[in-house]
Amino acid sequence: NQRILLASRPDGKPAPEHFKFDSVPVGEPADGQVLLKVLFLSLDPYMRGRMNAGKSYAKPIEVGDVMEGGTVARVVRSRHPDFAEGDVVLSYSGWQSYAVADGATVRKIDASAAPVSTALGVLGMPGFTAYAGLLTIGQPQRGETVVVAAASGAVGSAVGQIAKIKGARAVGIAGGADKCAFLRDELGFDAVVDHRAPDFAAQLEAACPQGIDVYFENVGGHVWDAVFPLLNDFARVPVCGLIAQYNDTAPRPGPDRLPGVMREILSRSLLIRGFIQREFVDQRPAFEREMAAWIACGQVRYREDIVDGLEAAPQAFIGLLEGRNFGKLIVRVGE
């Protein structure tokens, strides 16, 4: 069993030395357990937080433990009545090629419905994050302007397309010409702005002539600074992620802007609401039904960025925090 462990905690950006490869014998399932061969490993921004010691919404990974992560795997031995050899399941097996799991912690995937990797992306946790955060907190109305950051990514691409389905105008923010062209030409965003452009803030303002009614926050940093002045009265801001600051180790220097932000929250009646997707778990069946239908009729399209081999995971993950992925980042671990 090939594994990647957390070797040490990064102070700032993660680097290859924070990860350690090792190899141990493949485990044996006990009663009620299954032995899994991992096919696909999902790489997600939240893993950066798990590498830190500090308490967040979830426990940190201990140094020396296998890096955590969602996976799609095949059952190779089953000692659980609900699973048979060959079943493909969604599991939380982490960065390794085999895993033993309790049957209660894995879930069968219908491999005939869609490519199984989508259970980690558009039909899985990131797609659900987009669906629940946008519809429950953002509540986009017909004709409103919805802006989403990290728009070509797993979450952002679904946010923009769901906003369109609800009759809103979707404005995407992404890094670089290729991602912007993809959003405009392939996903049908109404306008797209490159956050790396020197006049980004001015371009965003021009792309939102009616202001912003919903801002789906994935990034923070300079993107938030450009969005904030454009928020309309009663704008809703689902705060989903702040990837621009995940590698920060201390607050950035600068004036204290909190009083000004609070004043605007008050005077413009802004709703700024953070969330972790699992809070909305009750909506998961509705999401799965609706998203599958949207994909089937072409209203939602998705892009995956698949890298080959478990050994590629650390570099791919480091790149995710710098915008080097283009679409849902997935590692093909086994066949």
- Binding stretches for ligand NDP (CB under 6 A): 44-46, 126, 129, 150, 152-156, 174-175, 179, 195, 218-219, 221, 223, 240-241, 243-244, 275-277, 320-323, 325, 328-329
- For residue 221, the minimal CB distance to ligand NDP (Å) is 5
- For residue 55, the minimal CB distance to ligand NDP (Å) is 17
Cα separations (Å) of 270 from 153, 156, 265, 267, 308?
26, 21, 5, 8, 44
198's CB contacts (< 8 A; 6+ apart) are none
Nearer to ligand NDP, 21 or 200 (CB): 200
Nearer to ligand NDP, 75 or 243 (CB): 243
- For residue 78, the minimal CB distance to ligand NDP (Å) is 30
Nearer to ligand NDP, 29 or 327 (CB): 327
| 45 φ, ψ (degrees, to nearest 5) | -55, -30
- For residue 165, the minimal CB distance to ligand NDP (Å) is 18
Nearer to ligand NDP, 176 or 334 (CB): 176
State the DSSP string of 152-165: TSHHHHHHHHHHHH
Local structure of 262: helix, strand or coil = helix
- For residue 26, the minimal CB distance to ligand NDP (Å) is 30
Local structure of 123: helix, strand or coil = coil
- For residue 67, the minimal CB distance to ligand NDP (Å) is 16
Buried b (16+ CB within 10 A) or exposed e, 30-62: eeebbbbbbbbbbbbbbbbebbeeeeeeeebbe
How far is residue 15's CA from residue 330's CA, in Å, rounded to a whole number? 19
Burial of residue 256 (number of CB atoms within 10 Å: 0-12, 13-18, 19+): exposed
Nearer to ligand NDP, 182 or 294 (CB): 182
Nearer to ligand NDP, 131 or 294 (CB): 131
Nearer to ligand NDP, 34 or 147 (CB): 147
Q: Side chain identity at 67, as an amino acid letter?
A: M
- For residue 188, the minimal CB distance to ligand NDP (Å) is 17
How far is residue 134's CA from residue 214's CA, in Å, rounded to a whole number? 8
